[in-house]
A and B are shown apart, each in its own frame.
Chain A
Amino acid sequence: MSIVKNARLLATRGARLAQNQSRRNYSDEMKLTFAAANKTFYDAAVVRQIDVPSFSGAFGILAKHVPTLAVLKPGVVQVVENDGKLTKYFVSSGSVTVNEDSSVQVLAEEAHNVADIDVNEARQLLSKYQSQLSSAGDDKAKAEAAIAVEVAEALVKAAE
């Protein structure tokens, strides 16, 4: 009984796979999954546009975008929902994946709504890390401070 049932399940799954393969065209809808270690912002939600900052430059993603992989840079991710509502999030780092079926995954180590950034705090951090950079001894400490300065600059720019 259960073998018959499993066989039927497998058969439907196989048929579905075959269907997907023959369809293999780009979807008109873009499904966004945007998550960070602290929060899930979108879970396969249909959105209109996403702008992401990456090491290969900032770029916008619409449905039918060419499949892409990119490494996130600290900065602002903008999400335009289907009703035209724009939300800005600050991401620390992570990755963005654009798949052939127009699904997009933005995975960040830390992400927050831009409104949750304290601009005065960000300015203080910027000057703190700038002085840390100028007083850094070895190359590693210098590089670490430079990263912090870069992030603080992006934070100030985003929060202003």
Chain B
Amino acid sequence: MRSSTGVRPAAVTARGWGWRHAGRPRPALSGLDLDIQPGERVLLLGPSGAGKSTLLHALAGVLGDGAAGASGPAGDAGDTEDTDETGSLLIDGAPPRAQRGRAGLVQQDPETQVVLSRLGDDVAFGAENLAVPAAEIWPRVREALDDVGLGRLPLDHPTSALSGGQKQRLALAGILAMRPGLLLLDEPTANLDPAGVLEVRDAVGRCLDKTGATLVVVEHRVGVWKDLVDRIVVLQPGSATDSAVLNSAVLIDGPPDRVLAEARDMLIGAGVWVPGYVPATRTRLPARDAGQLLLAADGLAVSRERPRRAGLRDGFRTIAPRPVQSGVSVQVRAGEALTITGPNGAGKSALALTLAGLLRPVAGTVSAAPALSGGASGGAIGHGSGDAGTDPYRWKAQQLIARIGTVFQEPEHQFVTGRVLDELMFGPRHLGYGEDRVDELLERLRLTELVDANPYTLSGGEKRRLSVATVLAAHPQVLVLDEPTFGQDANTWAELASFLSELLDAGTAVVSVTHDAEFSAVLGGTELRLRPLETAAADAPGPDLELPEGASP
């Protein structure tokens, strides 16, 4: 079977396959038996730690440097390689490592999917590496760019100017130009906004229809891929545990509708986003009077860029950066949620970080009301107490964290120690607080078991819970979160939403940047919808303030 596009769909065979990463006591995956026919489209599900990414990396031929396809515990003679492969994993009957370009992999992080700085060169990169004749490369590049919907951009368009969704489509084009028989997608849309998710999903669908290639996609938002795949394979939760050695690594396997019907409860339990299911969360208490004013922004213009110094001719004065958003006036009140929404490039994160006292306003002011600036909550007497003035950007770091806590999109950016407990104690120790709040947070966010672990080794959901806990340990009255639900499984999502709703009812103000409408519905409160500056200027001044559906005023 060979389609008109020169793509020969690949078959995958796994027999008792397993892999242990170097330095890990248990295999990431073991006892996998799986047959994927040429042209099949498979969605691979399973809880985190089930070895989904390991399988994709192995199929892409980028897993370790051990003896490719060798059966049995390969002799650990190598001085650096301590990996362990069992059984066999084959593409068209041969080990993946031996057939470069037969499978193409797209990963999660858009930023590291781009290799070169010009659009066309980046797409050509894979084809060049496969030694495709030069004359054949450029037609392939143009075709691939057309297929992913980037055909209208010039070939020398700078790749740094692309959005996240465009970068992921570019990565797909780079793979397509290699004409692989097997497309491997490892959570390609986890870091994208809803529009970006659809862009990528639709581009994948078009390419598969055209080439007939085999697809294996890992993603825990089932709804996105359900209609595009014709088979769902669910891997055993924690196939790395002892009990799994006896069983097969595959728990359920079949057409999407049947798998979703039969395994619905199990999948929900494993934190998979099953279509039509919104995890149960705590409902907020009925609204009381308007909360006390904590922070007010007036005529705020924001940018991530810093002011720069002009050259000699302009007398070295300061030049303000060009704002990405301007004219924002908004209030943050105790016990009330403020949700900042809008498309990419509208300056949502920049606005949140400016409100949080981390970025200097380009124009306008952020001022803390006396209730916030006056002193730390909880009656603690520490370095963070005492009146700090009204401008959060000018506060010392310790004054800031006792008043406004910020949770960044990437938890790792905020880790400052090598142990979970130290991480949690860091704020309270510096502020001279007691440890009682820390114990409560450990318990509440299910981190008690992990106190001695290294923060960098935690799973995605654990890292997220830890980053929220560390910030809250300093008792801030305002909590700012940047895309807290990005890439989270349904269990962590529900835990986080319920926990924040509790905090709100206890009087903390919560400001969140999010694309997640269900999440903002749980928190209630006010939605600040930002529009990109060029289009916003055309119709109305400033952003819209409105109440999300079902939210209590």
Whether A associates with B in a native complex is no
A residues with CB within 8 A of B: none
